[in-house]
Each structure stands twice: as C-alpha cells, then as structure tokens.
Structure 1
Amino acid sequence: MLAKSAPRWFAGLGVVGALIATTAIPAAAQAAAQVSLFFSDTTVAAGGPGKVDSVFLFATGPVVLDKPVVTFDATDLAGVVEIEDESLSSYCEEPSPGVLRCQDPFEIELDEDTLAVPFSIVMTAAPGATDGDEGTLKVTLTAPGIDAVSHEARLRVGEGVDLAAGDNAEVSAAPGAAFTAPLRVRNIGDTTAEGAVAIFYNDYGFQAAQKYSNCTYDGDEVRICTFDGDLAAGADYGVPFAYRLRADTYAPGSQFGEVGWMTPAEYEDLRAYLDKFGIDAGQPGDGPKLELSQVVGAQARGRQADTDPFNNWSYVEVKATGENGADLEAIGAEFDGEAGTTTDVELKVVNNGPAVRSSGRGGETITRVKVVVPSGTTAVAAPEECHPTTADDNTGEDVDWEHPGKAGAPAYFCDGGLFLAVDETLAYPFTFRIDEVIADAAGAITVNAPCECPTFGDDLDKSNDTAKILVNGTGGGGGGLPVTGASTGIVAGAGALLLAAGVAGFVIARRRRMRFVA
C-alpha cells in the first residue's frame, strides 16, 4: 500500500520544512537577519469552491518573531476574489472589508534553513466574477524588532474545469529492465479543458527511457509534461510513458511514481513560485513530442482553474523483482596524542552496493549508526546527526533524542540520512580529546546498529558492519576489526521537504485546519 505523500515532485531541492519553535535568539543575531514572506499567485474557478493556500515566512539568519501579525489586503480584488481565514480561528479578524489581520499568539523561530507557514486563507471567486478578472493580494508581516515586509501576489479568476487522474496501477520489473506506466487523465466536468499539464513525483528507480520535447527533465528524471490540445468534456485520454528501472534499484521492493494534473493557468502560477525560489523545472527533452490520444489541435486559450484538485493525482507501483541488495561498511579511524590534545576525526559509512539505499517515501533514516567513544577520551564535539546514549545501549532505549550533537556522551546513535548511492559515503565528524593515554584504547563505529527504532537489517555483508576507533595504537590491539577502508565524499540525503505554494490548492469542501509545522 502506498503511503501517500504530499504531491510535490520538487521535494528536496533546497527549502526545508516549516518549523515553529519558542527558543530565544540573542538580539544582535535577530537584528542581522533579513525576514521575507511569500504567497503564491493563484487562479480560482469562477463559481467554484475556492482554494486554500498559505503564507511562507523565511529569513537569512536566526530570528524570533514575537507574536507576529500577517495582514492580507484584498481591497484591490473587490468583485474579483474574496478571502477568509481558512482555520476559522480566533487568531484572525476583519478590521475592514477585504482585509484580514491575523496574529500568532506564540513566537515563531526562523533561520536560513527553516520556513514557517503560520496562516492559511480561503480564496473564492466573487459572485459575478468571470474568466479574465484579476487583482493583487498584498500580504504584510509585522513583528517587534523587524521592519515590516510585504509581498504582492496575483489572484485571478478562470473558467472552471475538472481534470481527474486515471486509476492507480501496478507493474513489475527487474532492476535495469524497461517498463511502461500509464499516463491517464479524464475531463469529468462539463467544460472543454484547453490543455493540461502533468507534474511527476517519482521515486529514484524511475529512469526516463525517452526524453520528449514537450516534457522537462532533471538528468533522466522527468519533471513536467505539457499538452496543448483540448480535452473534451467527459472524455478520457492517455498514453504509455516509457521508463527503465534503474540498475541499482534495491530489490525486492517497491518504487512509487505519482503524477498530478493541472490547467495551464495553474502551471503559470506554479512557475512563478519556482522562479521565486530558484527551482529549476528541468530542461526540455530532445526527442519526439508526447501526445495524449484523442487530443485535437491547439487553439486560442483562456484561463481555467480546476474545481476539484483532490482527484488530480494517481500513482503507479513498480514491484522491483529479483535480488539486488546493499552492503554498508563502517569505516573507523586511528589517531595518537598526549593527554589534553584534541583531534578531529571523520568516521564514515560507505555503500558498497550493488544497490542504493533509500528510505523512499517513508522519511525514515536508512540505517542507524552507533559510535562508542574510546576509553580515556571525550567527544568534545559531535555532529548534529548523532544523539547521546550510553555505551551499553544496544536497543536505543537510552538515546537522548532531544539533544542532538551534545558533547561528552560515552556513545552516540547517529542517523543515516534518507539516501545513499553506491560508492558514496556518510561522514560523521567528531572531535575527540585525549584525557588519559591508554595504549590501544578502542572505541567503535557500527552501521546497522541494533535498535528498537528504524534501521537496516538486511545488509549483504555483516562482517564489515563494525570498525575500530583506535587511540595510541601499538599494533597489539587485536580484535580483527578494520580501521579504515575505501570511501568517497558524503552524499546529501534526498527527500527534504519543500512546501510548495499553489501547486493544486485545496478546495473548501475538504476544509481543514492548516496551522502546522512540517
């Protein structure tokens, strides 16, 4: 069963999830940070149920916003688009017609790696608004200690259509083999849809076998396909999409691919968002044009918006057959020194293949790595991926998950990230201080460490799962554990969440509270 993810193909391309916290930041640091906000351009359907979207807050450095106020000014949209608080909470008020003033009762912490999504609004076409009407929504943030910042978003009205994705599908393929996945869309409304855009969100194993001229690609990963022909009301369109299951896909297992549909006008809104954050939608292919069957020639276009984005997504599950596993090897270290000296040490885990290790859509770490600090030494610095524990903790029960990177622990449980390619490494930089000179003092790094938490239990070669961290070795330490091995640079884990504004919107019929941290 597919664990449904947010329909965002651009996950992991540069903006991490929203974070709301209450930790105080020194005033000097707060003064140096620049705070910005963003709200997506949006097209809503005339006579439709409306859409929900959120304001994004982000900063160039650490900053705490004390009970910030966000004002949505839609006075320029009178007779075009109406707005209201999506959560129907007591945090928002309407001081004047077309203006919504929302105040968060808590502090919001930002830095260069986080963004906050404090308020969501409902946008609906005003009674009598028609295709072509548009105006500007001005969004302003105020908070003590910062200058007011504003952003203007274009809101417009389009003709309502209802695109629906085809049925979910399941296919099987061995790593390296070709397969096809159905690309299907139906127009279940009463209005002809003037073109359509497919947005892809595929797992690592999906390798495009053909690069079509009306699709964009990041390497051999398909991103977007645009279709300019009409989709008649009540009609069903489709075409097989050619893929190959990457040769280094883990098997047996499953790979999932999602595709979502939107109107060309909604894609214009999305492109404005991508441009704002410097996200590359990919490069056009150099092959033939991909055509949906039964689509007629293109003609002059108006604006359209989907009236029910919740039926726009479908998925295909590819059952990866055969046996194609992975060998994760621990790489230790050796250093010498007198009492009182400190040494920077980089411990590593390398993927010897033949398959990648990926958490897919689960978001769990691909493995757990335990580091035991050598006798007579202290870890005076530890990476943020590592959590303090005790040396005899073999279950993960004693892990201090609340203080990652805390110095001075006798041992650590470390996260393995979300993705590790073949021949790539995970690196864990520690700084050790020698407190007492002990010949052949040894700690250890263990990959796939036993833990009552997610880890990797199917390693192909368990004999290299543990390696020494040897201090002041004399050659008599023994034990048979390797100290070093082949390695390459660290690979960045794929899958950091990018919260996208305006990809499909949310219809009022599915209204829900959206004050969240992601």
Structure 2
Amino acid sequence: MLKHPTRRWLAGLGVAGALVAASASPAVAAPAADIELYFQDTTLAADSPGKSQALRLFADQPAVLPDVTVRYDYRSLAGKVTLADDGNAQCTAPEAGVLVCAETFEVPLDEVYGEQTEPVLIAPTDKAKLGDSGELKISLQVAGKQRGSYTSRIRIGEGVDLAGGPDSKLSAAPGGSFEAPLTVVNVGEKAVEGVVAFFDLDYSIRTKERFSNCLYVEDHLLACQFDEEIPAGEGRTTTLNYQLGKDTYAPGRQYGNAEFMTYADFEDLFGLREDAGARAAARGTGSAKLTLRDAPQKLRAAAAQTDTDRGNNYTSWNITVTGKNGTDLEAIGDTVEGAAGAVVTATVGFRNNGPATLNYIRGDMSVTYLDVDVPAGTTAVEVPAECAPRSGNGTDWGDFGKPGARAYRCLADTISVAGETSTGDFRLRIDKVVPNAQGTILVNAKCECEGGFRDDLKPANDRALIVVNADSSGGGGGTLPITGTSTGLIVGIGGLLLVAGVGGYLLAKRRRTHFVA
C-alpha cells in the first residue's frame, strides 16, 4: 500500500510521534469515526524514578482530533504511585489520585498506525511495596465529548538490570543458512529470575526450528522465554539457526535484533497483541526447548521484576546478503467506461513479479514512486491518500489526496512482497465522452527522493494505460488489475507489537482504501 512520506513512528520505547493523516476527508474526525484506546500495563521498580508511558489512540479512518483531554484515575493506588505530565500537555490534579491532561495540539490519527498523546510519568512513592497492584482508569474527551475509555494495570516489582551481548556481523546468500549468537548478561545487583528475548527481525529472516518455549508466526520467530535464573554479574548464551528467504534481495543487507526483558515487562508489552488485532502467535510444537548454557538454576516463585535500564538490553545482527537476486515491478492499468456525468473507478498500481521482495521498512521509505496521468475528458474527484498533485515544477507533497489535478505522484508502502500486487482507486468523473481516452501509470518513476527502485529487471513493463471508453474497434486498452494475497503477514518481526515501538510486523489495522496490497 502507499504511505505518507513523513511517517516516523518509532520514538524510544513508545511509538510514532508525528503521523499526519492525509486524506480527501474533512480534517476533523467524522461523527462515525470509531476511536479505540490502549495504554500498556506498567510494572514499576520500588524506589525507582518511574516510567514514561503514553496513551495510544486508533481510529477506523484518518482523522484529526481537536481539543483532546485525557483523564487518568489511579485512586486504587493512592499514596503508592504518582502521575505527572512528562511531555507538553497541560495537566491538573483536580483531586488526589486523578490527573487530567489537555493536549496542546490537535492529535492526527491514521487508521493503521494511530497516534499517541503526550506521555505521563508514573512513579512509585516511598510507600510502594513489592506486590502492590491497582488499576489505572483512563477516559478520553474530544471537543468536550466522551470518546472512549480504557483500564490498565500498574504494579510494583523488583528492579533488575539486563544487558545484551556483543553485536555480530554475519553473511548468507538468498535461501542460505546462518547461525546467530544470543547472549544476555545480568549487570545488576540482584539475580534475574527468568528472561525473555523479544525479536525484531527483517522479513527475510526465517527459522525452521520450533522450540516449545518460543513463539512463532508461520516461519518467523517472535520471542523465546527462558526460565533459567541468571545470578548478578553473570551471562548466559545460546545459538539461533536462521535462514534467509529465497526472495531476499541481493546484494544487500538484512538486520535483526533481540531485546531482553523480564517476564513481567514482557507480560506488560505482550498484552498489546490482542488489542492491536495482530495475527496470533503460536508456541513451538517441537519437543525440544531452547536453553541458555551454564544456567543450572531454575525459576522460583518471586515478586514481579522489571528492568530499570532498558537502554542496554539489545543485541543485534548485521547480515550481508551475497549473490544477485533482483526483481521486476510491473505497472497495472485499467479500462473503464461510462456516460457523460458518470463517476467511474480506475484501479491501478503495480505487481512485484519477483523473484525478490523489496523491503525498505527500516529506512521508512517508499519502495517505488508511481506517476499517474489522468485521461482526457475526465476529472479525478477522489484519489488515494498517498498521491499528491504533480506538475512540471515537481510534486506538491503538502496536498496528499487532493482531487482535481491532471497528474499525480504516489508513494508505495515500505515493503513489496514478491508475487503480490498493490493497487489504489482513482475515482474519475467523465466530463466529456472521448472515445479511447488514455491516461498512464508509471511505476519506478524518477524522483529526487529517498527510497524508490532503480534496478528493475524489465523496465519495458513499467508503464500501463488507463483507458476510458475504449474504442471497440480495437484501439487502446489497458492491463486489468491483478489480484494478490494480503500482505498482512509482512514487515519486520517486531510488528506483532508494533504500537509498542519494538518493530513493524503484522499490521492488523490495514487500510481499507487507498493503495493496498
């Protein structure tokens, strides 16, 4: 699918900051817009500075929310935790255990990635004790009207400190195998009773192993839970066996990392899966467990533990992809017909004929740029939200989704899977019947922009026709749209929890319009 060029949605351990909704729809949320809330469960270490958390908002259509106010009710933990503004909101405390924060600016929402409000700092007081737990009740008001609520959990745990092992440089060819070390060190002063490795792997990194203590989505590894205790000052290690998909682009690079976290922190984070509507992960069906070497002690019952320094929890793998494996992007046109005054839909886009998948997710860039020229005698009354008017002076990127132009430049999604198709709808009003009126769609259009694809294997099929009222005598014609399977299972393995800011995989809230795969 196509996407807005300014999307930058990883911000620390939160997610996306400035997501600008681009649509032909009105700027303010329509009354029918369905707004959903999510606030991650939080485990705090006693005697710690606390954690910064933000409310996530989602909508079923692009929208901009004015006059947003969020009310946080933590009276169930009165005297044991405090909440305070940790961003740019205007917050007041009308009563003990209640914080009300008004957003300084409007909040733009995208129906795929959503947006977050200004964060709040949740901190324990000197009265907080291990095992304390309570509810955080959140309510949302938009322009003075109640628009949603959510209940999250806050609990007090024991502070520990995990660190990831050294980074690795590896190499493999498309379809080839490689081994990746996985090492974790307890750099704190207390034993860590169980650890979880949560993986953020590029789409091409696959595994055939199915350990019983790991979670998978098809042939992608999501997380592994280790019940070994790691004493203070000691490290544990294991080895992962990976394989690059045969559709990996080459030469190139693939990246992956693992974040180590306590059981409690993973439980807080993983609770997002179902709320995000992500495709379910399955526990490995194999009889063997993946274990950490030199760890004879096993997990014992204890208070929840939380990591007090998440900045050093990562280990990463940089894989050089050898060999040569390119791809062919083919333009898809359409042929439509109608009488004067009718509005017709031309579905256009491109197909990735393979053999390689294009993956620009980590750079957050469009895999290709498409130029669309509107047929004579017609007016574009509705265009995909990722398309902007194009002229001889360039592209007006500030007018995404603006109708009425004669030519457009469109952005694609950050991944194009081999064998799949991305298309979008142009709604054309026939002002005057012009037999065999022709427009065009060009994939791999030249653009002085980041991203894009310049090494197409078959440039001859980069252009296709958009024909309105084709001449029945045989002139003109276009390529009919090709349907493909959903690319919901794409992107980078961390995306099951993408709104938690760990990666970008399994987008459940897919676009319902615009360019979609």
Where structure 1 has 5 or more consecutive residues not aligned to the other structure, the ranges are 505-518
Match of 1:135? 134
Q: CA deviation at 1:421?
A: 1.7
Match of 1:374? 375
Report Cα offsets for 1:131-184 as digits up to 9, x if no partner. Answer: 222233333334544237543322111111101111111100000001111111
Structure 1 counterpart of 2:70, one-letter code = V
Give me the TM-score of the superposition, normalised by structure 2. Answer: 0.83
Match of 2:301? 301
Match of 2:414? 418
Q: How does 1:70-469 map to 2 (within 5 A)?
A: 70-87=70-87, 89=88, 91-108=90-107, 115-147=114-146, 149-280=148-279, 282-287=281-286, 288-302=288-302, 303-335=304-336, 340=341, 342-390=343-391, 393=392, 397-438=393-434, 440-453=436-449, 454-469=451-466
Report Cα offsets for 1:418-475 as digits up to 9, x if no partner. Answer: 2222221121322344445555543222110111123211111111112233453477
Change in CA separation of 1:158 and 1:20 when aligned onto 2, cut-off 3 Å? farther
Q: 2 CA distance for matches of 1:336 and 1:136?
A: 58
Change in CA separation of 1:179 and 1:486 when aligned onto 2, cut-off 3 Å? farther
Is the CA contact 2:21–2:63 (under 8 Å) kept in the aligned structure 1?
no
More displaced stretch, 17-26 vs 34-43:
17-26
**Is residue 2:483 matched to residue 1:488?**
yes
Is the CA contact 1:9–1:201 (under 8 Å) kept in the aligned structure 2?
no
Change in CA separation of 1:281 and 1:309 when aligned onto 2, cut-off 3 Å? farther
> Equivalent residue of 1:270, what SS?
helix
Report Cα offsets for 1:1-26 as digits up to 9, x if no partner. Answer: xxx99499999xxx998668996548
Change in CA separation of 1:440 and 1:171 when aligned onto 2, cut-off 3 Å? same
Q: 2 CA distance for matches of 1:437 and 1:212?
A: 63
Is the CA contact 1:427–1:490 (under 8 Å) kept in the aligned structure 2?
no
Change in CA separation of 1:49 and 1:277 when aligned onto 2, cut-off 3 Å? same
Change in CA separation of 1:135 and 1:18 when aligned onto 2, cut-off 3 Å? farther
Q: 2 CA distance for matches of 1:274 and 1:358?
A: 23
Change in CA separation of 1:261 and 1:466 when aligned onto 2, cut-off 3 Å? same
Q: CA RMSD in A?
A: 3.4
Report Cα offsets for 1:345-378 as digits up to 9, x if no partner. Answer: 2223111111012213111111011112233433
Q: 2 CA distance for matches of 1:149 and 1:440?
A: 51
Change in CA separation of 1:83 and 1:428 when aligned onto 2, cut-off 3 Å? closer
Change in CA separation of 1:485 and 1:182 when aligned onto 2, cut-off 3 Å? farther
Q: 1 CA distance for matches of 2:57 and 2:464?
A: 44
Is the CA contact 2:264–2:305 (under 8 Å) kept in the aligned structure 1?
yes
Structure 2 counterpart of 1:312, one-letter code = N
More displaced stretch, 260-269 vs 216-225:
260-269
Report Cα offsets for 1:297-339 as digits up to 9, x if no partner. Answer: 4242221110101111221111111100001111333455665
Work out which of the two has the higher radius of gyration on C-alpha atoms and give 1 or 2.
Answer: 1
Give me the TM-score of the superposition, normalised by structure 1. Answer: 0.83
Where structure 2 has 5 or more consecutive residues not aligned to the other structure, the ranges are 1-7, 504-517
Q: 2 CA distance for matches of 1:371 and 1:133?
A: 59
Match of 2:47? 47
Q: 1 CA distance for matches of 2:21 and 2:427?
A: 31
Report Cα offsets for 1:452-507 as digits up to 9, x if no partner. Answer: 123211111111112233453477868xxx83278332644755986545989xxx
Q: 2 CA distance for matches of 1:357 and 1:435?
A: 39
Q: 2 CA distance for matches of 1:125 and 1:309?
A: 18
Is the CA contact 1:16–1:115 (under 8 Å) kept in the aligned structure 2?
no
Q: CA deviation at 1:239?
A: 0.8
Structure 2 counterpart of 1:331, one-letter code = I
Q: 2 CA distance for matches of 1:309 and 1:9?
A: 9
Q: 2 CA distance for matches of 1:5 and 1:59?
A: 16
> Equivalent residue of 1:76, what SS?
helix
Is the CA contact 1:200–1:224 (under 8 Å) kept in the aligned structure 2?
yes
Is the CA contact 2:200–2:502 (under 8 Å) kept in the aligned structure 1?
no
More displaced stretch, 428-437 vs 224-233:
428-437
Change in CA separation of 1:259 and 1:376 when aligned onto 2, cut-off 3 Å? same
Q: 2 CA distance for matches of 1:55 and 1:75?
A: 18
Is the CA contact 2:21–2:64 (under 8 Å) kept in the aligned structure 1?
no
> Equivalent residue of 2:269, what SS?
helix
Q: 1 CA distance for matches of 2:54 and 2:181?
A: 33
Is the CA contact 1:135–1:154 (under 8 Å) kept in the aligned structure 2?
yes
Report Cα offsets for 1:387-415 as digits up to 9, x if no partner. Answer: 2223xx4xxx4323233333332111122
Aligned residues: 486
